[in-house]
Structure 1
Amino acid sequence: MSATSDTTYNRVMLKISGEALMGDAGFGLHPPTVERIAKEVKSVHDMGVEICMVIGGGNIFRGLQGSAQGMERTTADYMGMLATVMNALAMQSALEGLGIHTRVISAIPMDQVCEPYIRRRAVRHLEKKRVCIFAAGTGNPYFTTDTAATLRANEMRCEAIFKGTKVDGVYDKDPAKHSDAQRYDKISYDEVLQKHLGVMDASAIALARDNHLPIVVFSLDEPGGFRGILAGDGTHTIVHD
């Protein structure tokens, strides 16, 4: 892994929700929003940082909601995985439009549109400074894209997971509903689990904790926020040991 002199981390996983791609549209993809996020990724890529991405599928289909409405859970989860592939292809298109070589790597083989997941090949893409977008979750039902992001981050030996959200860190309660909500600068994995703070699901937090993988929570809506944190400033919360 090549070192960079002006960044905190050399290889990172960026996890964003599918809802982050729909802007104000309420459903599906909002191309200007996809392009804005792609520019944020490019700004970090230009620093020499190697970038993995996992994008949720909730803007198109959410397995848990489908299951709650009577659909068989396994089928609903597979449909959600396919939604993540659609989002990954949209982000790939936006990044390549900015001149960033990108690979979509799917846990479910679909060779006509993306690569199958082969760990060593994915690592080689990162070493060649290609952005790797991991799609279709872990390839298994009952696992969220949060867990998939943490799994792939560990397999790729990322130095941190960056969780892009609508708020600039982890709060003790919902800042949209409570004006006295307090933001944490740092918090432990165990505190996140004990206080049910909703950073990621419990499986993802436990997997990060067991492998000492820090989670950086920041606002994806803050222009330059992703780059700022990697440069050593910017408002965020870090979840660690």
Structure 2
Amino acid sequence: MPGAGWFCKVPGAVFEAEAGAGQRVPEGTARVVVEEYPLPQQHEQVLRELTDAVRESADALRQGGGWTGGAGLEAVLALDAAMARRGVRVRAVYPRALLAVPRHAAHLRQVSDAGVSVRVLDHVPHDLLVFDGETACLTSGQACGADEPAPPLVRVRGPLLAASFAAIYESYWQRATPLSRTSAGPHHAQLSAREREVIRLMTNGYSDDRIARKLGITTPDVQSVMTALMERLDAGSRFEAGYKLAREVDPRDL
């Protein structure tokens, strides 16, 4: 069918189709390759290949703390951070319920600090990764329990189908809530009333002297507040402290 794309037969494919006898693939027709990888070590190899090759964007729906059946939390974080450092736009949507689990909530903060745009959603139906709008990875099922094997990883290559997965991802992204707009994170929860006042004035461009006059305190008091914030945020400068706070504090809460 002209314009509908052609499927390329590959070893282990979950869907196979090719031109019939006497037919030829039209020139310029987009090809689609669908492959299945049943083993966890294959999952990790495929994901590393994709993250190394991605040029512009990497979008993820993740049901749990890491990619199903593959790498754990730290490996996923390393892959995401490596892409973000190269200038790739990296986005991830996680279930909101993870915020109630300290280990997973801390992981989401680490992912955000690594340069990934993180949002949460009440329900994430399945794992999905979309790279450059041309390649999609998803799982073809769910493991029934801890002792069950990981579900196979399915990779779809070619813009014909990948564009549909990208559109599905975008619909979830638009409905999700930015991590910074969720319940207060650890730094946000520890802010005192004085710290909130200093941060609010600082973000409005006030100097230390002007903040001190506005609040009726001394300039060293303002500097002490900022020093304490930098230590708590593990920030080497005011700029870094402001960057970290901006990622998790809603200005409306100051």
Same fold (TM over 0.5): no
The alignment's TM-score, normalised by the length of structure 1, stands at: 0.28
Larger radius of gyration: 2
Relative contact order higher in (CA < 8 Å, ≥ 6 apart): 1
